[in-house]
Amino acid sequence: MELSKKYKIIRLICLIIFIISCVILIIEAATPGVNSANKSNAVSDAIASVINNVSEAITKKPKITNIDEFRAFIRKLVGHYGAFLFMSIFATLTGLLYYVRKEWKFFWIKVIIIIGYGFLFAIITELIQLAVPGRAGNFKDVFIDFSGYMTSSLVIIIIFFINNYKKTKKQIVEDNIKFDKEKEEVE
């Protein structure tokens, strides 16, 4: 099966973005706690400022009153869930776009590898944090990371599954029509 140039370029771009996002996640996991907290707090404070400005314009009261709770929430939402959600888009696309086979068993083997990779990578990033000053690997964070990873992985896998199922069903119908025509010609 010859792949188009456009297909090859798309899968190469997915692979490159996937690798870059993995490297960034490892670097972030290895960032000392003080530096990581400062980055996270800057993002959280900017978001809180926007939310409070809008809230005060509408209700004359700030929406976010406990900045420490909000910072923790944003750190988990963006730094863990969101980062793995993003990385998973390209991990899943890379996994599904390379080594294209028509047999269903290969599709399911790729799905298992993609999911296994996400779980293993979430564990690795938390284990790295155990060796970094001011950081602590946490099983709860593995769960948050993996939840972000699975959210986008499942959406993409379901889309690929439906697309492949439709193609397979269409091919079966076309093969049956071709077989019936050949059978009629022989008779």
pTM above 0.85, yes or no: no
78-132, pLDDT tens digit by residue?
Answer: 889 999 999 999 999 999 988 776 677 788 889 999 999 999 999 999 999 999 9
- Dihedral sign of CA atoms 169, 170, 172, 176 in order: positive
- Amino acid identity, position 26: I
Phi, psi at 61, each rounded to 5°: -130, 145
In angstroms, the CA 94 to CA 14 distance is: 6
50-80, pLDDT tens digit by residue?
Answer: 999 999 999 988 888 899 999 999 989 988 9
Both structure tokens of 125: 């990033």
Domain residue spans in the chain? 5-153
In angstroms, the CA 111 to CA 10 distance is: 19
